């Protein structure tokens, strides 16, 4: 109530108990009736709704939306357009009056756009440009109940509640649902469902209900795994749109401990593979070091400092790997309590032990979020200005060597404490296994085998060259000793046999190791038959396992082509693990069904995967799924 002192936060009207009850009952009645109608129409005419809406041109879709709601906001990204217009108006007032009225605030101006504040994703441009958005909105509003959508609707109102952009009515009573914004949530849901019902009625008004086949197969299959992303090259690709950017058109967010555990596990595996490739793949490591040295860092720093900054980035990657491991270690504790106790009763308070574990997980996530925000702030400017020099850093570095012997005496105590209550031996072994991939016997053995192959190839070339030189006839006589006929000599081509590299060992100046016994991981369940894919997808997968051919090692692949190729191989793409991370999971038709998932980072701003990252993807697919250059063949996908 303290916020009501300011003028912008005062109530607009005072409602009697009868008026407040009537208003809330009207919203609830609309929320109950409209979903029932929409479910019936989706079950009976889902395919027809989908076909007719997608068949319409963009102009016709815009006209239909405006006929349903003439006040529907015309542009996508409502807040961006409003902030720009608000800033222009403020500058204009300053230029005319020299000052701004205290009543001229964002909250006051936003009251003109009440519907857009309640439902910012309802706009003409967004719904007409991508027809799948309206269909996804319809599908998820009928599949999930309003109670499941209430937390998300409440989150959209936090900013407007804080700045007073929604006019409110006062009544001494309250509705127990998500605090003081309950009536606004009911209003938003009632308006959304009424809008969707009117759109469906407009779509089906020209069709004869008796002629419509009562099928919903296409409608259900289109959104079974989520909203598909629109692409100008491939139409609607098999890549699913991000649920974070398209949350209203996807399933409502919910706290699922299994999903959180799965995200933490796959992201930890991603960071572990990243550290593994940094230590074992020179091209991969050089690529990321060059990214760290982007802008003017290389010009304004000495070589030693460049190495220091590059090493510091590798430390950050290690901390990222550990942090995902910490999150993954916390989730089984909650999952164990969920399976053994009934504690998620919406009426009863949470069990004390579960509440404490949930609070510990929340504190860990908030701590990691704060740490990553600080690190992000240090790298976003990319990074230092042109005038910056490392003189300050040099002085601090010199001071680090000026500590007295008295300070160094504390180090043995710290080492003892580490053994007493810090890291356990199991944690140390696990970390060293990740941070020592370059000294792994399997890796060193693969390097030795590769070096032997290169030396064998070099020796074969030398032997071939020597064989050609042996066939050269040495000229012993000079000049003409007898009269010769003036005839044009016939040029004969000397044929040489291809050297058998397998038998070169006896002639080589070195010995190829035959007793190397590399440590290999347990064999994966690789499909016995090759997987048939299209010609384009086959070329992409071959690029993941390049030879020493220069053209193959410099080839790039569009991200959309890679996603479609993975779909042909039987991997479903999901964009619900956060950021640019994209998760690929084997579907039921894939030979790798039941195995783990893998996460790739989608490149930006150019949606192109370079040759180095393609090779890294190939190594990761070989590690987790047993892929090789012989896994696929060109043919029709079964």
Distance, in Å, from the CA atom of 63 to the CA atom of 57, rounded to the nearest integer, reads 10
Find the mean pLDDT for residues 33-57.
90
Q: Give the whole-angstrom CA distance, residue 351 versus residue 573.
A: 37
Q: Which of 599, 612, 600, 555 is nearest to 282 (CA)?
A: 612
Tell whether the torsion through CA atoms of 74, 76, 79 and 84 is positive or negative: negative
**Residue whose tokens read 């930006």:** 604
Evaluate whether 280 touches 443 at the Cβ level (below 8 Å): yes
Q: Output 390 or 41, whichever has higher pLDDT.
A: 41
User: Is the Cβ–Cβ distance between 166 and 184 less than 8 Å?
Assistant: yes
Evaluated on CA atoms 281, 284, 290, 293, the torsion sign reads: negative
**Has residue 1 got a pLDDT over 80?**
no
Q: pLDDT tens digits, residue range 241-282? A: 566 678 888 888 888 888 888 889 999 999 999 999 999 998
pLDDT given at position 604? 79
Q: How would residue 233 be classed by pLDDT, with cut points 50, 70 and 90? A: very low
Write out the two tokens for 471.
């066939």
H helix runs in 349-440, sequence order: 352-379, 391-399, 405-408, 411-421, 425-435
Tell me: pLDDT of 504 over 50: no
**C-beta of residue 543 within 8 angstroms of C-beta of residue 557:** yes
> pTM to 2 decimals?
0.71
**Tell me, what's the pLDDT at 572?**
86
pLDDT bin (cut points 50, 70, 90) of residue 516 is very low
Half-sphere exposure of 27 (CA within 13 A, CB side): 18
The pLDDT tens digits of the residues spanning 418-474 come to 556 666 777 778 778 888 888 888 888 888 888 888 899 899 988 888 888 777 666
CA angle, 627 as apex, 623 and 630 as ends, to 5°? 145
Give the span between the Cα atoms of 192 and 94, in whole angstroms: 38
Q: How far is CA 149 from CA 143, 155, 171, 188, in A?
A: 11, 10, 25, 11
CA angle 379, 385, 386 (to 5 degrees): 140
| Residue range 324-341, pLDDT digits in tens | 999 998 888 887 776 655
DSSP codes of every residue in 249-316: GSPPP---HHHHHHHHHHHHHHHHHHHHHHHH-HHHHHHHHHHHTTTTTTTSS-HHHHHHHHHHHHHH
Closest CA to 624 of 603, 602, 594, 604: 594
Q: Find the range with the poorest average confidence among 129-143, 153-167, 403-417.
A: 403-417
At 404 the three-state DSSP class reads coil
Indicate the angle between helix axes 303-340 and 352-379, nearest 10 degrees: 160
Residue closest to 122 by CA, chosen among 68, 172, 47: 68
Residues 6+ apart with CB under 8 A from 52: 203, 204, 207
Instruction: With cut-offs at 50, 70 and 90, classify the pLDDT of residue 186.
Output: very high
Q: What mean pLDDT is predicted for residues 301-312?
A: 70
Task: List, in order, residues 6 or more apart from 216 with CB less than 8 Å away.
Answer: 42, 43, 44, 46, 47
Q: Which candidate, 638, 620, 627, places its Cα nearest to that of 266?
A: 620
Torsion angle, alpha carbons of 628, 633, 634, 635, to 10:
-140
Band of residue 409 on the pLDDT scale cut at 50, 70, 90? low
Report CA Rg, the chain: 34
Confidence of residue 206 (pLDDT cuts 50, 70, 90): low
The Cα angle at residue 9 between residues 6 and 15, in degrees rounded to 5: 125
Rounded CA gap, 246 and 575, in Å? 10
**SS3 of 600, please?**
strand
C-alpha 82/C-alpha 116 separation (Å) is 11
pLDDT at 200 over 90: yes
For the chain, give the percent of residues with pLDDT over 70.
Answer: 70
pLDDT at 354 (0 to 100):
83
At residue 240, the 3 state secondary structure works out as: strand
CB 239 within 8 A of CB 229: yes
Angle between helices 182-204 and 131-143 (to 10 degrees): 120
Residues 545 and 619 sit within 8 Å (Cβ to Cβ): no
Q: How far is it, in rounded angstroms, from Cα 167 to Cα 164?
A: 7
Average pLDDT, the chain: 78
**Do 23 and 180 touch, CB atoms closer than 8 A?**
no
pLDDT, mean of residues 383-390: 48
- Residue 241 in contact with residue 247, Cβ under 8 Å? no
Instruction: Please return the burial class of 562, using the count of CB atoms within 10 Å of its CB with bins 0-12, 13-18 and 19+.
Output: buried
Indicate the domain borders of the chain: 2-223, 257-345+382-402, 531-634
CA angle, 25 then 28 then 32, to 5°: 135
Q: Which among 167, 119, 173 has a CA at the least distance from the CA of 141?
A: 119
Pairing of strands 531-533, 632-634: parallel
């Amino acid at each position: 109530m303290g916020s009501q002192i300011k003028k912008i936060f005062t109530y607009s009207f005072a409602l009697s108990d009868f008026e407040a009850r009537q208003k809330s009952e009207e919203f609830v009645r609309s929320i109950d009736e409209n979903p029932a109608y929409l479910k019936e129409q989706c079950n009976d005419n889902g395919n027809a709704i989908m076909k007719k809406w997608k068949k319409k041109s963009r102009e016709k879709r815009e006209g239909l939306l405006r006929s349903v709601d003439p006040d529907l906001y015309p542009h996508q990204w409502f807040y961006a357009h409003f902030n720009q217009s608000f800033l222009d108006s403020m500058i204009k007032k300053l230029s005319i009056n020299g000052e701004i009225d205290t009543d001229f605030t964002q909250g006051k101006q936003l009251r003109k756009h009440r519907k857009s504040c309640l439902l910012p994703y309802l706009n003409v441009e967004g719904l007409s440009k991508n027809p799948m958005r309206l269909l996804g909105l319809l599908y998820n509003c009928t599949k999930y109940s309003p109670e499941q959508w209430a937390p998300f609707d409440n989150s959209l109102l936090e900013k407007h509640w804080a700045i007073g952009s929604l006019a409110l009515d006062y009544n001494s009573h309250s509705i127990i649902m998500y605090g003081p914004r309950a009536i606004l949530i009911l209003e938003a849901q009632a308006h959304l469902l009424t809008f969707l019902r009117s759109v469906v009625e407009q779509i089906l008004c020209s069709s004869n209900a008796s002629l419509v086949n009562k099928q919903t197969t296409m409608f259900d299959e289109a959104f079974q795994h989520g909203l598909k992303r629109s692409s100008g090259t491939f139409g609607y690709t098999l890549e699913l749109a991000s649920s974070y950017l398209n949350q209203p058109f996807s399933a409502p967010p919910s706290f699922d401990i299994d999903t959180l555990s799965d995200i933490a596990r796959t992201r930890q595996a991603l960071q572990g593979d990243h550290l593994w490739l940094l230590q074992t793949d020179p091209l991969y490591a050089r690529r990321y070091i060059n990214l760290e040295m982007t802008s003017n860092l290389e010009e304004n720093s000495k070589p030693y400092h460049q190495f220091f900054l590059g090493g510091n980035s590798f430390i950050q990657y290690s901390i990222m790997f550990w942090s995902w491991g910490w999150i993954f270690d916390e989730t089984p504790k909650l999952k164990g309590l969920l399976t053994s106790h009934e504690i998620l009763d919406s009426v009863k308070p949470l069990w004390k032990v579960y509440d404490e574990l949930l609070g510990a997980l929340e504190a860990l996530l908030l701590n990691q979020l704060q740490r990553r925000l600080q690190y992000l702030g240090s790298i976003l400017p990319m990074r230092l200005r042109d005038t910056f020099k490392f003189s300050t850093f040099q002085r601090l570095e010199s001071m680090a060597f000026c500590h007295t012997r008295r300070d160094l005496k504390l180090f043995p105590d710290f080492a003892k404490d580490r053994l007493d209550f810090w890291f356990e031996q199991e944690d140390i072994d696990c970390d060293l296994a990740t941070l020592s991939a370059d000294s792994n016997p399997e890796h060193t053995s693969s390097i030795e085998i590769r070096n032997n192959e290169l030396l064998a190839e070099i020796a074969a070339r030398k032997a071939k060259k020597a064989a050609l030189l042996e066939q050269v006839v040495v000229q012993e006589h000079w000049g003409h000793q007898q009269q010769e006929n003036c005839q044009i000599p016939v040029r004969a081509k000397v044929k040489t046999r291809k050297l058998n590299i397998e038998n070169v060992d006896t002639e080589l100046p070195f010995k190829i190791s035959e007793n190397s016994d590399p440590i290999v991981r347990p064999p994966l369940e690789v499909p016995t038959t090759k997987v048939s894919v299209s010609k384009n997808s086959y070329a992409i997968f071959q690029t993941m396992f390049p030879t020493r051919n220069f053209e193959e090692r410099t080839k790039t692949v569009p991200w959309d082509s890679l996603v479609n190729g993975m779909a042909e191989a039987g991997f479903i793409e999901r964009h619900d693990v956060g950021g640019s991370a994209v998760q690929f999971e084997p579907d039921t038709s894939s030979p790798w069904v039941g195995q783990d998932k893998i996460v790739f980072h989608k490149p930006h701003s150019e949606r192109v995967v370079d040759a180095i990252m393609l090779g890294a993807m190939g190594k990761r697919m070989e590690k987790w799924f047993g892929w090789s250059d012989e896994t696929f063949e060109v043919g029709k996908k079964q």
